[in-house]
Every structure is written in C-alpha cells, then in structure tokens.
Amino acid sequence: MAVQHADVGRGIQIAYEDLGAAGDPALLLVMGLGTQMLGWRDGLCAELAERGLRPIRFDNRDAGLSTHLDGRAPHLSAVMAGDTSRAPYALEDMAEDTTGLLDRLGIERAHVAGASMGGMVAQVMAYEHPERVLSLTSIMSTTGEPAASRPTEAAMEALLMPPVASADEAAERAVAVRAIVGSPAYPPDEDDVRAVARTAYERAYDPPGFARQLAAIYRSGDRTERVRTLRVPALVIHGLADQLIPPAGGRATAAAIDGAELVEIDGMGHDLPRQLWPRLADAIAGHVERAAAAQPA
C-alpha cells in the first residue's frame, strides 16, 4: 500500500503504511530515534502479516514524511546535562501522535510494538491510554532508569556523529554505525544497509529533527514508576550484545511490568537483523495470540 497521511491533531501529519488485512489484529509498529518507518523492513512486516497480523508502520514526527517541526535543534550537550527547557516536546506528545493515528484509522484498540525509542513511546502510550492498547511489545528499549540505560562510550559516539552531507556519506555512515551497535552474531548485508540508508537520506534527512527526538527522551526522563502501573500483557525482547541500550534496560522494563515475558537473544545488538525476522515475528505473533485469548469474552 502507498504511503498515506493522517492528521493526528496539534498540527501534526503522520505518514503511515497499513500493510495487512483489515480484518486481522492491528499491530502498530513504532520505530526508534531518528529512524524512519523503513526501519520496520518490508520482509519483517511480511513475516508478521503471514502470521495473521495487520502491521501498521509510520514515521514519527520529525522523521521521514511526517511533520517536521520548525526551529533550531536543542543543544544536545545541555540536554544531556539535564537542561531540557528547550526540548519542544516529550515522549508523551509522540504517544499522543500514535493514538491520534489509531483514531484516524478507526481502530479502537491495537497491539503495539516499539523498538528502541519506539519502545519508550509504546510504553508511554500503554500507561497514558491503557484502554487503547491490547498488548505491548518493547524491543531493545528501557524505562529510562539511568543505571539501566547507559550506552557504551563507542555506541554513544556513534549516535552523536556529525551530520552527513550526501546519500553516499549516509550509506557509509550506516555501515560504520551498524558495525558498532549492530548484532555481532548476525552480520548484515552491507550493500543492503547502504541501500536503505540512501533511500532514507533521499526521502527525508533532518539532523535537527533527530536532536528534537533525542531531547524528548531526556525530557521524559525516568519513567519507571509510570511503567510499574501497567496492567497490559507485555513482551520484552532484548539483545544480549546491545551496546546502545544495554540488556539491563530490557530487564528493568520486564521487572517493572507485572507478568511481563522477557526474551533475551544471544548475539543480537541494537538492530533487527534479517536472520532474526522469523524468530521475532513468531514471538510477537505468539504474544498477540496469548493476549487475545486472555481478553474477557
């Protein structure tokens, strides 16, 4: 299906793709920091659809073809030092975008899966709007607890590299970053990584938008106490080789949610490697099925 746009209110237009059958359980896919909906790769979405789900992927605000806010980016060194006064929005605002998208699609309740920052947004959505979330899948994410969320120095340096100036530079940068934060047991096809990076660059490249999203994470801070209020079926997936959000982030998330299932994957880093798509799709589809079975008749 071609990219469509939904007005979710507050001056935000969200670009999305509805990739499954209308009668199947809706699975809203929330992507991470600075990453467009392309991060939910076509093949992974196809795996999910083959298992009877209706994947809906979208660009967060300040990414891809969704609304990009005007104005200068917040100063990241100040933000990371604790001054979030210039952060124009928080994760809570991004969660409102997701519920607004469901409203425009006429979906009362959905299963929600988020990766990295997308997992944070999904968590916020689940405690701000529990009536809209049938199940939560939090992938390579965290509650924001500082001790559980600290990246390695190499991963942080990779995250904060200076902007690139061309599609070719974006392609080589993507390969370099993937070598640092990706899955050591599941090496990627570097040509494929380059191709996706070029497409993303040409589709929409916005370093200030990346900075605003990162500031939103810091503005929302440690959300552990709110996450502890969740009473939704929850699956937490985390790679044991993740350098950007360490395994402690997944463990903290699972520990905060009563009854959450924790799946840790050896050799998986901070990405969604092609080799793991069937396993990830099986885990998410199984979780959705169990959550549906637990719903009152």
Using DSSP, state whether 98 is helix, strand or coil: helix
- Statement: residue 268 has pLDDT above 70: yes
Contact assessment for residue 79 and residue 89, using Cβ atoms and an 8 Å cutoff: no
Using DSSP, state whether 254 is helix, strand or coil: helix
Q: What is the C-alpha separation between 217 and 141, in angstroms, rounded? A: 12
Q: Which residue has the higher pLDDT, 223 or 76?
A: 223
Give the model confidence (pLDDT) of 109-167 as tens digits.
999 999 999 999 999 999 999 999 999 999 999 999 999 999 999 999 999 999 999 99
Taking residues 90-115, what's their average pLDDT?
98
pLDDT value, residue 106: 97
- Statement: residue 285 has pLDDT above 70: yes
pLDDT value, residue 297: 63
pLDDT value, residue 16: 98
The mean pLDDT of the chain is 97
Q: To the nearest whole percent, how much of the chain has pLDDT over 90?
A: 95
Taking residues 71-82, what's their average pLDDT?
87
Using DSSP, state whether 112 is helix, strand or coil: strand
- Statement: residue 39 has pLDDT above 80: yes
Comparing CA positions, the residue from 257, 234, 80 lying closest to residue 151 is 80
pLDDT value, residue 295: 87
Is the pTM value of this prediction over 0.85?
A: yes
Rounded alpha-carbon distances, angstroms, from residue 16 to 28, 65, 244, 260: 10, 9, 27, 29
* Single-letter amino acid code for the residue at 268: M
pLDDT value, residue 1: 65
- Statement: residue 73 has pLDDT above 90: no
* Single-letter amino acid code for the residue at 263: V
Residues 6+ positions from 42 with CB-CB distance below 8 Å: none
pLDDT value, residue 183: 98
Using DSSP, state whether 211 is helix, strand or coil: helix
pLDDT value, residue 72: 76
Using DSSP, state whether 34 is helix, strand or coil: coil
pLDDT value, residue 269: 98
Going along the chain from its start, the domains and CATH numbers come out as: 4-294 (3.40.50.1820)
Give the model confidence (pLDDT) of 169-210 as tens digits.
999 999 999 999 999 999 999 999 999 999 999 999 999 999
Burial annotation 171-189 (CB, 10 A radius, 16+ → b, else e): bebbeebbebbbbebbebe
pLDDT value, residue 111: 98
Give the model confidence (pLDDT) of 45-64 as tens digits.
999 999 999 999 999 999 99
